[in-house]
């Protein structure tokens, strides 16, 4: 990194699975253990004094996730015959999943929250929030139950170009230039992103530069300032929040330092719609179809 921080990856000499990830200056120190078929069993975060433990069924689907430390968590998952999650228990509180009988992977209810889809399979109602799509099935507007309205505009390449949020009589407009530049027109705040190849490595916000440190999934886990001091831990999606059964049940190898590609990441359809925005339905998609970041 430009601030002198160095990340070191250590691999098992025989199977080349990642066993340790450290960043100088005691920024991060992560250790990995695997089961016999290569699923991640434990992740030890020495810096935060936390241990994540994962268990799987015979089909390598995650069945439980436990996090120790100052803020412990416990999750379990159950599945039906075609692999859909039927129940997710969070710290003892169960949430049951219901599916459309004609679209077998389309969730229609999670607990007391219900979901509705249009004829193209796009989610149009999420627990009362209304979603509208353009002719290319891209999310163009979301009206939340609190009255907040967010509209999205895309450029000719299908990338998000503008976001307008209206809430409580106030309107905020954000302009985007690819994945490199954002500007909030009301305040003039500018955010610039810097890349090494396809990996985002730094961000400049209001004139201040920060460096981004990732976990083996490529998610930003820690940021440091220009002096190399740890600034914050990024609020990225936890594995338990982002389709966990499809996330960690793969090997982390030398060729996957920034890999372990999630089938579902923190962004939906490649347009930066976050899991936080989607709420309880974080283990599925906002569509009953399968999307990649190249879908339009």
* CA-wise closest residue to 152 among 137, 163, 166, 138: 163
Instruction: Write down the mean pLDDT value for the chain.
Output: 78
Give residue 233's pLDDT. 54
Tell me, yes or no, if the pTM score tops 0.85. Answer: no
Average pLDDT over residues 95-111: 93
Q: Is the pLDDT of residue 101 over 80?
A: yes
With respect to residue 35, please indicate whether it lies within any of the assigned structural domains: yes
What does the alpha-carbon distance between residue 176 and residue 257 come to, in Å, rounded to a whole number?
A: 28
Q: Which region among 40-44, 110-114, 133-137, 234-238 has the lowest average model confidence (pLDDT)? A: 234-238
With respect to residue 228, please indicate whether it lies within any of the assigned structural domains: yes
Summarised one tens digit per residue, pLDDT across range 205-228 is 888 888 888 777 777 778 887 777
For residue 60, the enclosing domain spans 7-281
Give residue 23's pLDDT. 85
% of residues, the chain, pLDDT over 70: 77
CB burial class (10 A; 0-12, 13-18, 19+) of residue 143?
middle
With respect to residue 289, please indicate whether it lies within any of the assigned structural domains: no
With respect to residue 37, please indicate whether it lies within any of the assigned structural domains: yes
* CA-wise closest residue to 18 among 178, 251, 246, 245: 251
Give residue 231's pLDDT. 72
**Backbone torsions φ then ψ of 234, nearest 5 degrees:** -70, 140
Summarised one tens digit per residue, pLDDT across range 50-80 is 999 999 999 999 999 999 988 999 999 999 9
Give residue 291's pLDDT. 37
With respect to residue 287, please indicate whether it lies within any of the assigned structural domains: no
What is the band of 271 on the pLDDT scale with cuts at 50, 70, 90? very low
Number of structural domains found in the chain = 1
With respect to residue 296, please indicate whether it lies within any of the assigned structural domains: no
Give residue 262's pLDDT. 31
With respect to residue 294, please indicate whether it lies within any of the assigned structural domains: no
Q: Is the pLDDT of residue 40 over 50?
A: yes
With respect to residue 174, please indicate whether it lies within any of the assigned structural domains: yes
Give residue 87's pLDDT. 96
Give residue 265's pLDDT. 31
Give residue 131's pLDDT. 95
Place of tokens 């994945």: 179
The rounded radius of gyration (Å) of the Cα atoms in the chain is 20
- CATH number for the domain spanning 49: value is 2.180.10.10
């Amino acid at each position: 990194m430009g601030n002198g921080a160095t990340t070191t990856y250590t691999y098992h000499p025989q199977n080349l699975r990642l066993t340790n990830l450290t960043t100088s200056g005691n920024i991060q120190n992560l250790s990995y253990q695997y089961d016999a078929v290569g699923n991640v069993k434990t992740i030890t975060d020495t810096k935060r004094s936390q241990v994540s433990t994962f268990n799987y069924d015979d089909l390598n689907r995650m069945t439980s996730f436990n996090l120790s430390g100052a803020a412990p968590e416990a999750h379990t998952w159950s599945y039906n015959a075609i692999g859909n999650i039927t129940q997710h228990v969070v710290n003892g509180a169960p949430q049951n999943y219901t599916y459309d009988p004609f679209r077998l992977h389309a969730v229609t209810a999670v607990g007391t929250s219900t979901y509705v889809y249009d004829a193209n399979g796009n989610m149009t109602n999420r627990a009362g929030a209304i979603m509208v799509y353009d002719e290319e099935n891209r999310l163009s507007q979301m009206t939340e139950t609190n009255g907040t309205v967010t509209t999205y505009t895309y450029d000719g390449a299908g990338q998000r170009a503008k976001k307008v949020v209206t809430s409580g009589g106030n309107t905020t407009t954000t302009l985007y230039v690819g994945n490199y530049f954002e500007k909030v027109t009301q305040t003039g705040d500018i955010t610039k992103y810097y890349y090494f190849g396809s990996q985002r490595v730094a961000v400049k916000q209001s004139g201040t530069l920060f460096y981004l440190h990732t976990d083996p999934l490529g998610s930003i886990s820690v940021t440091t300032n220009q002096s190399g001091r740890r600034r914050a831990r990024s609020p990225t999606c936890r594995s338990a929040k982002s389709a966990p059964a499809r996330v960690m049940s793969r090997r982390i190898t030398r060729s996957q330092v920034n890999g372990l590609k999630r089938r579902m990441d923190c962004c939906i359809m490649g347009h930066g719609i976050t899991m936080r925005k989607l709420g309880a339905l974080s283990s599925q998609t906002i569509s009953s179809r399968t999307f990649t970041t190249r879908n339009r």
